[in-house]
Amino acid sequence: MASESTMAHPFEDAPNHVTPTVIHDPILSKTDFRSVGTRPLRPDGLDKVTGRARYGADFNMPGQLVGLVLRSPHAHAKIKKIDTSKAEKLPGVKAVVTAADLPDHTGGDQSMYDILENCMARGVAKYDGHAVAAVAAVDAPTARKALKLIKVDYEVLPHVTDVDEAVKPNAPLVNPRMLTEGVEPKPKKASNIAKRTEFGHGDVDAGFKEADVIVTRSFRTEQTHQGYIEPHACVASVSPDGTGELWVCTQGHFVYRNHCAMLLGMDVSKLRVTSSEIGGGFGGKTHVWAEPVALALSRKANRPVKVTMTREEVFRASGPTSASSIDVKIGARKDGAIVAADATLRFTCGPYYGMWAELGSMTAFACYDLKNVRTVGYEVLVNRPKTAAYRAPSAPMAAFAVESVMDELAHKIGMNAVDFRIKNAAKQGTRASYGPVYGPIGIGATLEAAKKHPHMKAPLGKNQGRGMACGFWFNFGGQTCTDINVGPDGSVTLTVGTVDVGGSRASIALCVAEELGVPYEQVKCIVADTGTLGHNDMTDGSRGTFSSSMAGIFAARNAITVLRERAARMWEIPVEHVTWEDGHAKAVGEKYGNLAPLSLKEIAAAAGNTGGPIAGHSEIVADGAGVSFATHIADVEVDPETGRSKIVRYTVIQDAGKAVHPAYVEGQYQGGAAQGIGWALNEEYIYGKDGRLQNPGFLDYRIPVCSDLPMIDTQILEIPNPNHPYGVRGVGETSIVPPLAAIANAMSNAFGVRMTHVPMSPPRVLKALEAAKKA
Amino acid sequence: MAVLVSTAINGDTVEFACDPHESLLDVLRNRLGLSGAKEGCGTGDCGACSVQVDGRVVCACLMLGVEAEGRDIETVEGMSHGTELHPLQSKFLEHAALQCGVCTPGFLMAAKALLEHNPDPTEEEIRFGLAGNLCRCTGYDKIVRAVQDAAKVMRG
Amino acid sequence: MAEIHLWGALRPAAGGASTVSVDAKTIRELFRKLEETYPGMAPHIARGVAVSIDGRIYRDDWGRDLPEGSEIYLLPRIQGG
Ligand code: FES
Ligand code: FES
């Protein structure tokens, strides 16, 4: 192990260490934090810098086979026949599975049936890359050979991949049985619109009549991928007695367990799922794909099976985000007050029902205080992979459209873009555009901070423009189960069930150390497998640190109750006279006040004689996550010759409620911004006329590299969340929301061109510049 | 037909038999139990598989196992000396330069090679020097700072 | 009687109304009665409906009380990344 000096010291003087700005603390009594707010090293860090950490593909079981998946080369095709006989006869092949090996156990649960069908096509392949069969063999070359021996007889069907094409009346039908939900009377004819949804309040038409200026625009964004660096990987082992094990990289091993058990017809408690270290997820590891297939292969072969997706498979056949097409109309008076706002949003879902337009509709205008507002969303089916969540799903596209129009409107009224937003910002008591009334929120504070930020006044160079934009995300909590076990030496094992995607073990341990009053180093946080804890929801919706720290704090409080009882027994005094302070039991009252405090360590050492092991548990639904807002400022330089853009300066300002481990909060802000920048400038799924994905690799699907980006400045605001004992809000997602619009606004400010199609790749920018020159 | 290869990995003499088509990455991970190098793409685009071969960074997914014959190979597993971490490893930890950490072994190898050739790089040189390594979590800010700080420590 | 605000996708199931009145004391009772009175809402509830009570959103906890006079909004059960 490393020496003390290299390992144990909290990191206090990082070059970019800025103390979070506390706005106010009206509700919470807890303000004097000792551990929370520091930057100690993470418990899993050493393993990760030495190559010892085990990710999805770094694990093997004895006798393990290699599993590979055969995928449809067609965007839409009827599977008339699959002949696996030759593959099965190949020496070394131990199992071949098709949909026939995954009978339907979903009992009428449509969303689970969709997942089942997405894992293995049932009669119809619905997108390029859709799984149609799989093999398990003794090694990879044999498995590859076996895939080639499987003969699939396809009847190619007409397909549609484009969002605007798919909603046209005569578009090929992705699902001929899909009748649009949410419209009255219920349609009799099938279409590619799975659902219509609507949010808002007031009278939009009346509102627009009061407007001095109205801006109306249409926008498009292309489909992007979460782009986690670690491809999906798992090792599955199912025994003939109906028990199974699954090692897998996932954002939620409990949910994977529940889904896999249902799809395989297994008892949930007989399938034990262990989450590996996870090499990024961002929403993309919230859904099962190859895992049920690996289990089916293992069941058939009666051997462990490892399935690792290639990068190409990840792009073609995991769950990217939606492509979108959005119309926005906003009207304002000359004094800058918005009088009405209206948006129509069409989002692709892949071939299955989704709620992506719905999320876009809810988030689109959430930053603003609007009397008359309406959003209408359409979930659109296309022959592309089933959409999965991607960091604040659907909010970036909606914000791109709305925040672009906000800037244009400010410009037309002659108001500064920040002041215009401040004037219309939602505040405590505002009715959100999606319905409820806000509690304490931070949009105004992020805008005020942006206005004061030195970045706003810094000089710009040639061909550079500055833009800003706001973003919103809900965050949520969900089911959470946490254990604390005190060891005989007084050290504490903190067992959580939320997968750690970016340092949450450190953050949750900080909260528990805080509550117990012991040093961070005394608390070891681990992520348990599904056999060890009760159900935990995924690490998604920015919930990992929020919900597990809440459950951890409650578990610590329960452990403290036990510790006080034990101290009372050791002292032979009534427990009412024992308090807990600074990691010690203290006797209070005239009679006992002179007893020397007992440390956690001392109480732990005596546990065997005072009632046995000391533990604290907590099972909660961590509702009340607290919404999150951000404001970003972007400086963009565009080369007018090539249309190539570069971000030259970038600032993220976001409310964290309470930053538990500020370094990882900054990391979330920076990482989200970088993903948003990639989305804004480069990343897109490109489908050919044949419906095949043309760029399923990192060479052609270009995510930002180190030399594409500047340092990303962060400012953490702390507006405590009244629903968390320490005021914590989720921080993981909101930072991906503003960049698309902030960058588009910067380009508009630099060149007077309004970009309405993301990504703003060099050819699109060049075209816009040339069109502007001609005009 | 398997080929017998003799090489040095992290200072130790290693002999292995591999298929002539097998990548060095597969050999390291599947035959030698060195799973520190990761496969993010298998096509040379992500750098997660970076190792040093005779002092130069290469993508282990693009090199054949048989090409390791007679070379000096260094992987992330060989970076620390006993219990003492390489300054890059310590600085990555201190600066929170990893979130998920799957890119970290590749970045450490690439940064090590970079600093061996250029002990006092500018920010731009660091950014271009590490442009072959993808990180999706951090936005690179803390990675660049960690490398800058490690360079300072290594210069003494 | 609590007044329940519906988001757009639920309204067709209530004959186009944007609010409905339901006599319910908890979220569980609310969902049960909504399903009884407006069967078209059942698939939405099965898929996941969140309840905002005075601005605080509950996605999971059906045991929550609906306090007299509180403002209640039904929302889709949000997914995240
Ligand atoms: S795995 Fe070798 S470069 Fe990506
Ligand atoms: S830390 Fe996750 S990819 Fe770099």
Q: What angle do CA A197, A198, A200 make, to 5 degrees?
A: 160
Is the residue at B66 inside a domain? yes
Residue numbers of the domain that contains B94:
87-155
DSSP output for A65-101 = EEEEEEE-SSSSEEEEEEE-HHHHHSTTEEEEE-GGG
Regarding whether B70 and B115 lie in a shared domain, the answer is: no
* Topology of the domain covering C2-76: Ubiquitin-like (UB roll) (3.10.20)
Return the half-sphere exposure (C-beta side, CA atoms, 13 A cut-off) of residue A541.
Answer: 26
pLDDT of residue A142: 97
Report which secondary-structure segment, H or E, holds B148: helix B141-155
Chain C nearest-CA distance from A431, in A, is: 9
User: By percentage, how much of chain C surpasses pLDDT 70?
Assistant: 100
Nearest to A682 by CA among A654, A705, A711: A705
Topology, domain A477-621: Aldehyde Oxidoreductase; domain 4 (3.30.365)
Is A18 in CB contact (< 8 Å) with chain B?
Answer: no
Residue finishing a domain among B46, B75, B104: B75
Mean local confidence (pLDDT), A86-98: 98
- pLDDT value, residue A11: 33
Confidence (pLDDT) at A262: 98
Return the pLDDT at A405. Answer: 98
- Predicted pLDDT at C47: 86
Q: Give the pLDDT confidence score for residue A624 in this predicted structure.
A: 78
pLDDT at A12: 34
Reference A249, options A294, A217, A304; nearest CA is A294
Q: How much is the pLDDT for A13?
A: 36
Q: Which subunits sit against C, judged by 3+ Cβ pairs under 8 A?
A: A
Q: How far apart are CA A272 and CA A505, in angstroms?
A: 22
Q: Which residues contact A4 (CB under 8 A, 6 or more apart)?
A: none
B62 and B93 part of one domain: no
CA nearest A504 in B: which residue?
B99
Whether the Cβ atoms of residue A555 and residue A484 lie closer than 8 Å to each other: yes
d(CA A285, CA A318) in angstroms, rounded, equals 9
B98 Cβ closer than 6 Å to some ligand 2 atom: yes
- Rounded Cα distance between A774 and A668, Å, is 42
Q: Identify the CA nearest to A485 among candidates A602, A585, A600, A622.
A: A600
Q: Give CA–CA dist A357/A397, Å, rounded.
A: 10
- Could you tell me the pLDDT band of residue A21, with boundaries at 50, 70 and 90? low
Query: Residues 117 to 156 of A: which have CB under 8 A from any B CB?
Result: 141
Terminal CA-CA length for chain C? 37
**A707 in contact with B, Cβ within 8 Å:** yes
As annotated, the residues of chain A forming the CATH 3.30.365.10 domain(s) are 324-475+626-774, 477-621
Give me the amino acid identity at A87: A
User: Apex CA A266: angle with CA A262 and CA A272, to 5°?
Assistant: 95
Would you give the distance in Å from CA B83 to the centre of its chain?
Answer: 19
Query: Is residue B115, in this structure, part of any structural domain at all?
Result: yes
Pairing of strands B72-74, B3-9: parallel
Q: Which fold has domain A57-157+243-301?
A: Aldehyde Oxidoreductase; domain 3 (3.90.1170)
Determine the pLDDT at residue A738: 98
The answer on pLDDT for C79 being more than 90 is: no
Residues of A in contact with C60 (CB under 8 A): 478-479, 621, 623
On the question of pLDDT at B139 being above 70, the answer is yes
Q: Which of B103, B130, B141, B144 to mutate to test ligand 2, by most ligand atoms within 8 A of the CB atom?
A: B103
Question: Six-digit token pair at A610?
Answer: 């005072």
Residues B71 and B91 in one domain: no
The share of chain A scoring above pLDDT 90, in percent, equals 90
Instruction: Examine the fold and report which residue of B75, B98, B115 is the final residue of a domain before the chain moves on.
Output: B75
Q: What is the dihedral of CA A689, A692, A694, A697, to 10 degrees?
A: 170
Banded model confidence at residue A105, pLDDT cuts 50, 70, 90: very high
In the predicted model, is pLDDT for residue A143 greater than 50? yes
* A738 CA: distance to closest CA in chain B (Å): 15
Q: What is the pLDDT of residue B58?
A: 97
ipTM over 0.95 threshold: yes
CATH number for the domain including B17?
3.10.20.30
Instruction: Tell me the per-residue pLDDT of A733-769, one tens digit each, with 9 for 90 and over.
Output: 999 999 999 999 999 999 999 999 999 999 999 999 9
Do B96 and B55 lie in one domain? The reply is: no
pLDDT digits (tens, 9 = 90+) for C3-41: 999 998 899 999 999 999 999 999 999 999 999 999 999
pLDDT band at A625 (very low <50, low <70, confident <90, very high): confident
Contacts of C14 (CB under 8 A, 6+ apart): C6, C20, C38, C40, C41
pTM more than 0.90: yes
For residue A678, CA distances in Å to A276, B113, C77 come to 27, 27, 29
Ligand 2 center to A764 CA (angstroms): 30
Question: Measured from the CB, is residue B70 less than 6 Å from ligand 2?
Answer: no
What's the pLDDT at A79? 98
Query: pLDDT at position A15, please?
Result: 37
pLDDT reading at A2 higher than 70:
no
Least reliable range by pLDDT among A492-506, B138-152, C59-73: C59-73
H-only helix segments in A215-318: 253-264, 290-301, 311-317
Is 90 exceeded by the pLDDT of residue A418?
A: yes
Residue A9: pLDDT above 90?
Answer: no
Split at pLDDT 50, 70, 90, the class of A22 is low
Residue at B62 is within a domain: yes
Question: Which residues, in sequence order, are bridge partners of residue A480?
Answer: A620
Q: Looking at the domain assignment, is residue B80 inside a domain?
A: no
pLDDT confidence of A17, banded at 50, 70, 90?
A: very low
Nearest CB neighbour to A355, from listed C12, C76, C81: C76
Give the relative orientation of helices A417-424 and A395-413 as an angle to the nearest 10 degrees. Answer: 110
Reported as type and span, the H/E element at residue A342 is: strand A338-350
Nearest by Cα to A306 from A291, A285, A322: A291
Residue A48's CB: how many other CB atoms inside 10 A?
25
By the 8 A CB rule, do A724 and A657 touch? yes
Peptide bond into A574 cis (omega under 30): no
Q: What percent of chain A has pLDDT over 70?
A: 96
At residue A16, does pLDDT exceed 50? no
Give the pLDDT confidence score for residue A480 in this predicted structure. 95
d(CA B110, CA B134): 11
Q: Check: CB of residue A392 under 8 Å from CB of residue C80.
A: yes
Decide: helix, strand or coil at residue B33: coil
B26 alpha carbon – ligand 2 mean position (Å) = 21
Six token digits for residue A599: 């440390």
Token pair, residue B60, equals 């282990």
**Domains contained in chain B, number:** 2
* Structural element, H or E, at residue A198: strand A193-201
Please tell me whether the peptide bond between A172 and the residue prior to it is cis, using omega within 30 degrees of 0: no
Domain spans in chain C, listed from the N-terminal domain onward: 2-76
Residue B39: phi and psi, rounded to 5, are -105, 110
Cβ–Cβ contact B10 with A under 8 A: no
Average pLDDT score over residue span A183-197 = 94
Residue C60 has its nearest CB partner, among A475, A478, A732, at A478
Measured in Å, residue A664 CA sits from the centre of ligand 2 at: 13
Question: pLDDT band at A3, cuts 50/70/90?
Answer: very low
Residues of chain A with CATH 3.90.1170.50: 57-157+243-301
Average the pLDDT over B22-43 and give the result. 98
pLDDT given for residue B8 in this prediction: 98
Indicate the pLDDT class of residue A6, thresholds 50, 70 and 90: very low
- For residue B95, the domain's CATH number is 1.10.150.120
pLDDT in the model for residue A4:
36
Segment A308-362, tens digit of pLDDT:
999 999 999 999 999 999 999 999 999 999 999 999 999 999 999 999 999 999 9
Whether domain A324-475+626-774 has CATH 3.40.50.2300? no
Best of A375, A394, A474, A535 to disrupt the C interface (most C CBs within 10 Å) is A474
Q: Closest-lying ligand to the alpha carbon of B57? A: 1
CA of B46 to the centre of ligand 1 (A): 5
Looking at all shown ligands, the one closest to residue B92's CA atom is 2
Containing A647, the helix (H) or strand (E) segment is strand A645-655
Answer yes or no: are the C-beta atoms of A454 and A633 closer than 8 Å. Answer: no
Q: Has residue A97 got a pLDDT over 90?
A: yes
Does the pLDDT at position A626 exceed 70?
yes
Pick the closest to residue A71 from A165, A21, A135 (CA basis). A135
Give the span between the Cα atoms of C49 and A275, in whole angstroms.
29
* Beta strands at A338-350 and A373-381: parallel, antiparallel or unpaired: parallel
Quick check: A621 and A639 in contact, CB under 8 A? no
Residue B149 forms part of a structural domain: yes
What mean pLDDT value characterizes chain A?
94
Q: Cβ(A467)–Cβ(A749) under 8 Å?
A: yes
> Does B109 sit in the ligand 1 pocket, CB within 6 Å?
no
Band of residue A398 on the pLDDT scale cut at 50, 70, 90 = very high
Domain boundary among the residues B75, B97, B125 is at B75
Question: Alpha-carbon Rg of chain A, whole angstroms?
Answer: 27
Q: Tens digits of per-residue pLDDT, A560-611? A: 999 999 999 999 999 999 999 999 999 999 899 899 999 999 999 999 999 9
Q: Does C9 contact A181 at a Cβ distance shorter than 8 Å?
A: yes
The whole-number average pLDDT for the span A284-294 is: 97
